Amino acid sequence: LTHLLTTEGLPRETIEHILDTAASFLEVSDRSVKKVPLLRGKSVFNLFFENSTRTRTTFEIAAKRLSADVINLDVARSSTAKGETLLDTVDNLVAMHADMFVVRHNASGAPYLIAEHLRRTGRSEVHVVNAGDGRHAHPTQGLLDMYTIRHYKRDFSQLRVAIVGDILHSRVARSDIHALKALGVPEIRAIGPQTLLPVAIEKMGVRIFHDLREGVRDCDVIIMLRLQNERMNGALLPSAREYFKCYGLTTEVLALAKPDAIVMHPGPMNRGVEIASDVADGAQSVILPQVTFGIAVRMAVMSILAGN
């Protein structure tokens, strides 16, 4: 791997190698354990052109645990605000000896543009990790979701996984579906109103449900998604109350899934919109462990890209 831009097309063996490597880092990703020197002398630049709490912070922690130097570009105070292009910014950071870019951008394809630019300009030794581009892909979230599912369920071959809500605008849903398919999950359900499901989603090999109760029945894993209003361009939205009534995960709805079903959410959550607080904080929720596993998974991705 030179870059990690998407989970689409990643072979099962590559995903398993990343998850196994993450498992070996899990102790190191705990604060009580010392750093490892795998990225000593390397510079990791976090370029977040869109807001983030979990992804940016866990990438920073992960890079520091690998002993890298971490530079967080303050985009709002950078010269992009004066009209400097994305690729000129990249060229200048490469001139500062960047070894790896972690890129979040609201434009789908921005990390691809950077990777292609690096290739064309003969700097293929600089790695790019997509930390979420538009509605397209969020591969490290997909991988940490797979890590979480494997941690709690062990075996992917018998699972029924439901993804619920605004799948149309969700880069997480797309990255999860590609990874779940690669790992051999036999049944993936996409649950949501017609208006929030991509037109061609059936081609991804998922079963469509518009009724939440029907969709979560007998599921092993339920992945809840936020309404991504920032990507809806002024579309007529249901009120939070209307949406919660039809698609909010409550204890009553969760009871229709398998008794040992786990509840996941990539965050940020909107309590009382897509998920009830007692479910988000309940015994079946693994939402905070997802965040913790994200550190080890991002350590694994960066160390593999760097050739370790």
267 is in an annotated binding site: yes
In whole angstroms, how close is the CB of 6 to ligand CP at the nearest point? 15
Q: Does 72 bind ligand CP (CB under 6 A)?
A: no
Q: Which of 14, 21, 52, 108 binds ligand CP (CB under 6 A)?
A: 52
Going by C-alpha positions, the residue among 151, 105, 169 that lies closest to residue 132 is 105
CA dihedral 165, 171, 176, 179 (to 10 degrees): 160
Site for ligand CP in 236-265 (CB under 6 A): none
Q: Which of 37, 186, 268, 307 binds ligand CP (CB under 6 A)?
A: 268
64 is in an annotated binding site: no
Q: Does 266 bind ligand CP (CB under 6 A)?
A: yes
Q: What is the torsional sign of CA 113, 118, 119, 125?
A: negative
Q: Does 229 bind ligand CP (CB under 6 A)?
A: no
Find the part of the chain contacting ligand CP (CB under 6 A) among 52-60, 116-124, 186-194, 214-222. 52-60
- DSSP symbol at 208: E
Residue number, 192 or 266, with CB nearest to ligand CP = 266
Site for ligand CP in 101-140 (CB under 6 A): 132, 138
14 is in an annotated binding site: no
Residue number, 118 or 167, with CB nearest to ligand CP = 167
Residue 193's CB: how many other CB atoms inside 10 A?
15
Give all strands (DSSP E) within 80-195, no chain letters: 100-105, 127-133, 160-164, 187-191
226 is in an annotated binding site: yes
- DSSP symbol at 243: H
Q: Which of 109, 134, 267, 282 binds ligand CP (CB under 6 A)?
A: 267
Going by C-alpha positions, the residue among 159, 151, 170 that lies closest to residue 289 is 151
Q: How many residues of this chain interact with ligand CP, rule: CB under 6 A?
A: 10
171 is in an annotated binding site: yes
- 47 bridge partner residues: 73, 103
In whole angstroms, how close is the CB of 241 to ligand CP at the nearest point? 25
Burial of 63 (C-beta count, 10 Å sphere; 0-12/13-18/19+):
buried
Residue number, 52 or 80, with CB nearest to ligand CP = 52
What's the residue count for the chain?
Answer: 308
Whole-angstrom distance, CA of residue 41 vs CA of residue 149:
34
Residue nearest to ligand CP (CB): 55
Going by C-alpha positions, the residue among 66, 262, 299, 251 that lies closest to residue 148 is 262
Which residues participate in the annotated binding site for carbamoyl phosphate?
54-55, 104, 138, 141, 267-268
Which residues participate in the annotated binding site?
54-55, 82, 104, 138, 141, 171, 226, 267-268
Binding footprint of ligand CP on the chain (CB under 6 A):
52-55, 132, 138, 141, 266-268
